Structure 1
Amino acid sequence: MKVLVGALLVLGLFLGLPVSAAVIVASVATPAVAEEHRTLACEGVLPATGQWRPPFESAYTQTSQFGNRFHPIHKEWRLHAGTDLVSQPPGGQVVAASGGTVSAVGWSGGGGNTVTIDHGGGVVTRYLHLAAPSPLSTGQVVHTGQRVGIEGSTGDSTGSHLHFEVHQGGQPLDPVPFMLEHGAPLSGAAVGPSTPPVEELPGPGLPEDGEGGIGFELPEPGQPRRDSLTNPPRQVPPAVQALYAEAGQKYAIPWTLLAGIGMEETAHGANTATSSAGARGPMQFMPATFATYGVDGDGDGLAQIDNDADSIHSAANYLIASGVNNGEQGVRGALFAYNHAHWYVNDVLFYAHAYGGGLVLGDPLHCPGGPGNPDLPPVSDERVATMLEFAAAQNGDAYILGTNGPDAWDCSSLTQTAMAAIGITAPRTAQAQRDWLATGNGFRVPVQDAQPGDLFFFDSYLGPLTIGHVGFVWDPTTLASIEAANPTKGVGHFSYEHALDNNIFEIWRLGNINDNPKPN
């Protein structure tokens, strides 16, 4: 059963007050609201994750909210039983907010062309004023993100828009809090296409805990290419392929990417002579680079540059440290770091696709990172209270990698949705959220200066050189957290003390930012 923490209690905790004093002080003093700044977005669009998503793939604006209003055509007060959204540019494709069964499609009087989808459990969504519905039929099963029509202005409408409704048990609900609770806030941000449901994600075996169960396909090779033009991919020896697969699973990258490097460098160990530059081993490491990124791949207690297992695992470790999880640009950048040549990047990707391609576990958004913005006003106390209230309300929920609520979360979907509760659109994964803050949406603070609502990040299943976990500071005096911890603990109040000595442990404070700040 969820435990709902009142915003006043959370605000009292933020101010360092005893719980008994929180309500009294909050009733006589309101924290000053710092100036709001516009959110700095990462490059690209948000990935589609979870069972729910916004009903557009494009960016959009909200023009009319749920509630009683004066009808612009009928000139009387009526319940506006949904929210009006306008795609940017208008006339965009409308998609199903979740999977379900089409229960009605066609003309619905004032609603014009309308599609209704039954999602089970008494939950229904309706899509009104469509210029034309997609060729759907009653009883047809649709998946999340399947196209249901084109935004239009049919029926009682004064302009092109989508009137989006959510009903439960036959009663209309405000779609905004409903979608927020289901991990798909109507923030106006563009969200990429959803894929049809599959039993499990392709590519590397996903760990039970981590930064989020989303990924992106390896980018296609481009031009120029060099060696791959005349040297076709060779069959991978079974013992070497087993090492590629083992390292790929451990570091959550496609084994084919490691095979692409192995083919390009030494044809999977067939040509392991020391290069003219001094590179050695099957994955051709420079000794100085191996001294920093070399790992013990076979568990014998040694990291040896000429050992096959150590070399292959070290290559995976180096790719992770070079940002291979950070979208397509991250993959290209990591390969370029391996060998500073664009033809090399394209050769490796050509070979990787020849061996089957695959999914990189990480965020397709590219957040370049940086030092943060220490001059940014910190997020206001009241907004911190709202954010922590949302996170604490999920106390007792399950942890399931790749989920976005409403009853199960992973670490980064919980923090992402809590930030959405205060009007901030953040990336989906822990590493991307940290880099997004460092882009200029927040600033790093010393561990001893942490405050409630700060985000903590540390390395976990992806190895010691990248961030794999995120949570909120709840009470810095006791190092208490509110977080989606792992499958065993689920969501709740825990401690971040155990991670203080990790290779990476950082505290970041969110700035007082907003996707659509009020004009000055």
Structure 2
Amino acid sequence: MVAACGSTEPRRAIPEGIPPGPGTPVPIIDFNAPGRTADLLVAWAEPQADALNISVPALAAYAHAAAIMADTSPGCGIAWTTLAGIGYIESRHGTYAGSAVAFDGTVAPPIRGIALDGGPGIAEIPDTDGGFLDGDPIYDRAVGPMQFIPETWRKWGVDADGDGAANPDNLDDAALTAARYLCARGGDLRTPEGWERGLMAYNQSGVYLRDVRDASAAYSIGTHA
């Protein structure tokens, strides 16, 4: 078994089954306070960030989204670990190809997916936004750290960082948008059926579901994906 992060200790076994565990409990916060309320979770995120290999602003964004959903949609039960699992698979938590997450949750340079042009193994989605979000006026490209199709973002995108704009390149906004979408499509994500239904709506791939599950389960026991 490979040791984690250069440690001589073997990596802990990742729990099986779905849904993945909820991880470290997220404290109650006043997410109606002014400004970036994900900052209220920095003290919660800092002691875990290194072990999880997730930046503090990214981890706070995932927990922030889960905290909001726990209050506004308690029947969903989405955990921050699931959002972190998606963020890892989609963009390595906003660090894909040299991008980085700023303290306010903004990811730069912006992350854009490949053209969805119907090539081998690729869906064909003609442009839906005139290239406004993805810079491509011919085909759609997934945008931001949670990799939303522009049409999906236009329907579901929400402002979570208090700046008055829904920005797919801001991880606060993207994480809460993903949480809302998963809850709407999956229902109760505390059940195996609900969690699988939500993830398959996000990406219709069994391999994707397994990869997200593995990353989320790692985070649930305090280790990295």
Q: Which residue of 2 aligns with 1:274?
A: 112
Partner SS state of residue 322, structure 1: helix
* Separation in 1, partners of 2:221, 2:198: 16
RMSD of the alignment, in Å?
2.5
1:37-116 matches, cutoff 5 A: none
Distance 1:357 1:330, change over 3 A: farther
Q: Which residue of 1 aligns with 2:177?
A: 314
1:33-432 matches, cutoff 5 A: 203-204=25-26, 235-252=53-70, 253-271=78-96, 273-276=111-114, 277=116, 278-325=141-188, 327-356=191-220
Partner SS state of residue 186, structure 2: coil
Could you list the per-position Cα deviations for residues 136-177 of structure 1 after superposition, in whole angstroms to 9, with x for gaps in the alignment? Answer: xxxxxxxxxxxxxxxxxxxxxxxxxxxxxxxxxxxxxxxxxx
Distance 1:355 1:332, change over 3 A: same
Q: TM-score, normalised by structure 2?
A: 0.54
1:467-506 matches, cutoff 5 A: none
Distance 1:357 1:345, change over 3 A: farther
Partner SS state of residue 304, structure 1: coil
* Separation in 2, partners of 1:234, 1:281: 21
Structure 1 alignment gaps of length 5 or more: 1-201, 208-232, 359-520
CA shift for structure 1 position 261: 0.2
Partner SS state of residue 355, structure 1: helix
Distance 1:337 1:268, change over 3 A: same
Partner SS state of residue 220, structure 2: coil
Q: Which has the higher strand share?
A: 1
Structure with higher Rg: it is: 1
* Separation in 2, partners of 1:204, 1:306: 24
Q: Which has the higher helix share?
A: 2
* Separation in 2, partners of 1:273, 1:247: 20
How many residue pairs get aligned? The number is 133
Distance 1:342 1:295, change over 3 A: same
* Percent identity (aligned): 39
* Separation in 2, partners of 1:270, 1:338: 21
Say if 1:234 and 1:267, in contact at 8 Å, map to a contact too: no
Say if 2:82 and 2:212, in contact at 8 Å, map to a contact too: yes
Question: Which protein has greater RCO, CA pairs closer than 8 Å, 6+ apart?
Answer: 2
Say if 1:258 and 1:316, in contact at 8 Å, map to a contact too: yes
CA shift for structure 1 position 204: 4.8
The residue type equivalent to 2:161 in the other structure is D
Could you list the per-position Cα deviations for residues 407-441 of structure 1 after superposition, in whole angstroms to 9, with x for gaps in the alignment? Answer: xxxxxxxxxxxxxxxxxxxxxxxxxxxxxxxxxxx
* Separation in 2, partners of 1:240, 1:288: 24
CA shift for structure 1 position 273: 2.8
Could you list the per-position Cα deviations for residues 194-221 of structure 1 after superposition, in whole angstroms to 9, with x for gaps in the alignment? Answer: xxxxxxxx745579xxxxxxxxxxxxxx
* Separation in 2, partners of 1:266, 1:243: 14
The residue type equivalent to 1:274 in the other structure is R
Segments ≥4 residues shifted beyond 3 Å: 202-207
Say if 1:247 and 1:255, in contact at 8 Å, map to a contact too: yes
* Separation in 2, partners of 1:257, 1:340: 16
CA shift for structure 1 position 251: 1.1
Q: Which residue of 2 aligns with 1:219?
A: none
CA shift for structure 1 position 324: 4.4
